[in-house]
Amino acid sequence: MSETEALLGDLRAEGDELDGLVAGLGGAEWRMATPAPGWTIAHQIAHLAWTDERAVQAAEDAQGFADEVRRAWAAPDAFVDGGAERGAAEPPEVLLGHWREGRERLLRTLAAQPPRARLPWYGPPMSVMSMATARLMETWAHGQDVADALGVRRAPTARLRHVARIGVRARGYAYTARGLEPPAEEFRVELGGPDGELWTYGPQDAAQRVTGPALDFCLLVTQRAHRDDLAVRAEGADADRWLDIAQAFAGPPGKGRAPGQRPGDPAGDGGASGHRAGGAP
C-alpha cells in the first residue's frame, strides 16, 4: 500500500467514525447546539459536505474554484457560515446523503490525481497528500464538536498523527494570517501519541520547544479548546507565543474557545475534549 493509499484509508476511517455518531440521530438531535457559536450538528456536517465539494472543485475545475476564492475573500466572515446554513436547512436524511456522496467522490478524486499534483486552496496550493490531510483534520475537528454536543467520549487514534503534523507545518501560516513575521528559528515539538509512542518534529536541540499529549495539541491547533485547559507546554518566548495563535487550518484566524469550555475530562487524560472554532472554516 502506498503512502497516499494509507492516508486516504485514514481519511475514510475518520469520516466513517463521525458518520457513526450522526447516522442514527433524530431530527431534534440534528438541531442540537455544538460548542461552535450558532452552529448545530447539522451545520457541522453541512460544512464538511460543502468543504469536500470545494476540494473536489479545486481538483477538477481550477477556474471555478478561483472564482469561489474571490467570492470568499470578498466576504471572509460570511462565506463559511453561508455554506453551512444552506446545508443545515436540508432535511437530515438529505444532508447525510449529500455528505456521504461527497466523501466518496472526494476519495475517488484524490486517488486519481497525479502524485505531484498541486491543488489550489484558500491558503497556499497543496499537494494531494496535504489536501487529504487537511480534509482529515477538518473531519476530526468538526467530529469533536459533534461528539461534545452529544456528550460522547471519542477514543483518540493514531490518525491524530495527521492532525498533529499539519498543525506543526502550519506554524508559519499562523503568524502570517495575523500579519506577523514568523520566527526564523526552528522549533522542537514532542507529543505523546495515544498508544504511548513519542511523535517528534524539528531538531532535538532547538531552544523553542512544545511538549504534551498529542490529543491536547490537536485540540489546540484546531482551536477546539483553550490552551489553559490543555496539558501542552512551551519552553521559550516564541514557542509560548505560538501556542496563543496556533491554527491548523487555512483562512482568517479563528476566535478559538474561551478557558473552561472544554467538556469531558481534565487535560491530557485521553478523554473527549471545538471548523468553526469561532470563525475558522
The domain segmentation of the chain, as residue ranges, is 3-150, 154-281
pLDDT at 51: 95
pLDDT at 263: 60
Residue 141, C-alpha cell as written in the block: 475537528
Cβ neighbours around 20 below 10 Å, total: 11
Task: Give the Cα separation of 184 and 181 in Å (integer).
Answer: 9
- Helix (H) / strand (E) containing 109: helix 92-111
Contact between 134 and 222 (Cβ < 8 Å): no
Cβ neighbours around 88 below 10 Å, total: 21
Low-confidence ranges of the chain (pLDDT < 70): 77, 263-281
The residue among 1, 113, 96 whose CA lies nearest residue 41 is: 96
Handedness of CA 121, 118, 190, 2 (dihedral sign): positive
Q: 3-150, what's its fold?
A: Four Helix Bundle (Hemerythrin (Met), subunit A) (1.20.120)
| Cα-based distances in Å from 51 to 91, 252, 267 | 19, 16, 30
Pairing of β 126-127 and β 187-192: unpaired
Is CATH 3.30.1050 what the domain over 154-281 is classified as, yes or no? Answer: yes
pLDDT at 4: 92
User: The pTM is what?
Assistant: 0.90
Task: Give the Cα separation of 115 and 128 in Å (integer).
Answer: 7
